[in-house]
Amino acid sequence: MNFKLPEDKKIVIFDGVCNLCNSAVLYVIKRDKSDQFLFAPLQGELGKHLIKKFNIDTNLMDSIILYYPKNETIHFKAKAALKVAWHLTFPTKLLAIFIIVPSFISNWAYEFVAKNRYKWFGKKASCMVPTPELKSRFLN
């Protein structure tokens, strides 16, 4: 499958059935004033394509994926979240300072929340359907 993705955007691949993840996506959209991010669920065609393309073991990964189409790179877990934060409005942008924390520490915290996200925040039966005004921000 060939996806024509805009190279001037960053793509956030997220767990489409996770309530925390869906809330985080809406949070990012609200603070992405320069319209840099597009979104796609892990369960969708693009999510599955990137998982296959980058040979990601989904059994070992409870994470968002931040994908840069321009240079074909991806980031996971805390690094992905902090890179997203860097591109948002103040004060969220300040969270990016935590990128200096060693990844084994920041990923431990990220994985702790990720492992418990369904228990703490719940889960939907199917992926979120974006509202008509947000539809242009979602791929698939």
Q: In what order do the strands lie in the sheet with 65-68?
A: 37-41, 10-14, 65-68, 73-76
Domain membership of residue 101 as a residue range: 10-126
Residue 132 lies in a domain: no
* In a domain? residue 81: yes
Query: Does residue 134 lie within any of the structural domains?
Result: no
At residue 27, what is the residue type? Y
Q: Is residue 64 part of a domain?
A: yes
Q: What confidence tens digit (pLDDT) does each residue in 51-96 have? A: 888 888 776 567 889 999 999 999 989 999 999 999 999 999 999 9
Provide the pairing of β-strand 65-68 with 73-76. antiparallel
Residue 139 domain flag: no
Is 30 domain-assigned? yes
* Residue 94: per-residue pLDDT: 94
Please write the tens of the pLDDT for every residue from 11-49. Answer: 999 988 888 998 999 999 999 999 999 999 988 898 888
pLDDT (0 to 100) of residue 59: 64
Q: Dump the DSSP string for 29-97.
A: HHH-TT--EEEEETTSHHHHHHHHHTT--TTS--S-EEEETTTTEEEEHHHHHHHHHHTS-TTGGGGGG
Strand ranges inside the chain, DSSP E:
10-14, 37-41, 65-68, 73-76
Q: Please check whether residue 137 lies inside any domain of the structure.
A: no
Average pLDDT over residues 106-123: 90
Q: Residues 39, 6: contact at Cβ < 8 Å?
A: no
- Total of domains in the chain: 1
- 80 phi/psi in degrees, rounded to 5: -65, -45
In a domain, 1, yes or no: no
pTM for the whole thing? 0.89
